[in-house]
Structure 1
Amino acid sequence: MTTQTAPSSLNGPNVLTTLRLVVVPVFAWMLLAHGDDPNWRIATTVVFAVAILTDLIDGWWARRANLVTNFGKIADPIADKAITGMAFVGLSILGELPWAVTIIILVREWGITLMRFLLLRKGVVLAANRGGKLKTVLQAVALILFLLPLPGYEWGTPFTLAALPEVTSWVVMAIALIVTVVTGVDYVRGAFESESETA
């Protein structure tokens, strides 16, 4: 009988996760120090998009190559929440996104992450569902749209095609907020059901 050796924490997927964490303060500086410069905003958006792309790649890579580690399980969601959380906070600091939206989303994100870790200590694994994955995609798209220097629109004035990009960004953000709250409630319900089954 052969015993399967646990993969080393020093592997490709974990390197990508660590790089995503390192990028967070760089992204924060780019957004907050140069928030009014359209060229910087495009560069900041590219950095954010690449960071989000690494989030998709490292998870897929780890599962495909059997490189899932305890470090990755802990660091990956933290890195994900750190980069998106910084984007939400940064946009609110710049006055481009209401603080209410940022606070609701961050409370849900970090609350569910904390709940997952607490359940994991009890041996209960709360797996990501399709709703959670949809939430992640919607948040990423909404943040990219908000980070881009899109043409402004004066709400209450006649709608023109020039206003379509900004209106679209608000619609996507509203949908992302709704899905974030709904999936958060679903995760809490699933956690209670899992605990009752193991009790």
Structure 2
Amino acid sequence: MNIPNRITISRIFLIPVFMIFLLIDFGWGSFLLLGADIPVSHFAAAVVFIIAAATDWLDGFYARKYNLVTNMGKFLDPLADKLLITAAFVGLTGMDMFPAWAAVLILSREFAVTGLRLVASGSGEVIAASIWGKWKTVSQIVAASAVLLHNVLFELAGIPFDTIMIYTAVVLTVFSGVDYFVKNKHVLTSSD
């Protein structure tokens, strides 16, 4: 297994650590940061989440720079992204920090595209991430981070950046999902 794939797998292993910090009340209290009152456990969860999300960029950069792109990586990378995002949005929804309707739309698209990829792989085809899929992932990561950090950079200015990013993530998620299905409709219409 090459280094980019190991980095991707490390992202998967960080998900339970993220969930522990997010969901377990350790009684650590909270602190005020740039106008936002942030529970220490949410801050710790955000740090782990951001580190895990950053490995998405790192594994891709490393794979492209050293020509280590593999079919395993093309499969694992989007899967790791989906697992991380699913954990974040389900956890945040359960804590009433993220709207359920947005989580359902985002996760429905994620499962639908995963299904499309599975059907394609059955006929030996790998559907790589598109540019819209990459922007969708970035918007989801920024939205989850803004919610986890209680809108820290924008709270004093009264800008609902976290809400803006939730809507941006939903729009890009739906658009990229439609884009995948339009560009790969042959996968579903093929008689193989």
Are residue 29 (structure 1) and residue 20 (structure 2) matched? Answer: yes
Deviation at 1:119, TM superposition (A): 0.9
Change (3 A) 1:128 1:71: closer
Match of 1:163 among 152, 158, 181: 158
Local SS of the residue matching 1:163? coil
Once the two structures are superposed, the pairs formed by residues 119-198 of structure 1 within 5 Å of their partners are: 119-150=120-151, 161-164=156-159, 167-193=160-186
Distance 1:68 1:127 in 2: 11
Q: 1:13·1:59 contact (CA, 8 Å) conserved in 2?
A: yes
Aligned to 1:4: none
Which protein is richer in strand relative to its size?
Answer: 2
Q: 1:119·1:125 contact (CA, 8 Å) conserved in 2?
A: yes
Gap regions ≥5 residues in structure 2 = 31-38
Aligned to 1:51: 52
Deviation at 1:195, TM superposition (A): 6.1
Scaled by the length of structure 2, the TM-score of the pair is 0.83
Q: 2:42·2:148 contact (CA, 8 Å) conserved in 1?
A: yes
Distance 1:104 1:174 in 2: 11
Q: 1:42·1:147 contact (CA, 8 Å) conserved in 2?
A: yes
Letter in 1 for 2:147: F
Distance 2:53 2:156 in 1: 29
In percent, how many aligned pairs have the same letter?
38
Bigger Rg, which one = 1
Q: Which runs of 4+ in 1 moved over 3 A?
A: 34-37, 193-199
Deviation at 1:17, TM superposition (A): 1.1
Give RMSD over aligned pairs. 2.3
Distance 1:162 1:31 in 2: 26
Distance 1:115 1:101 in 2: 21
Once the two structures are superposed, the pairs formed by residues 79-118 of structure 1 within 5 Å of their partners are: 79-118=80-119
Q: Tell me the number of residue pairs that the alignment of Structure 1 and Structure 2 aligns.
A: 180
Distance 1:25 1:195 in 2: 34
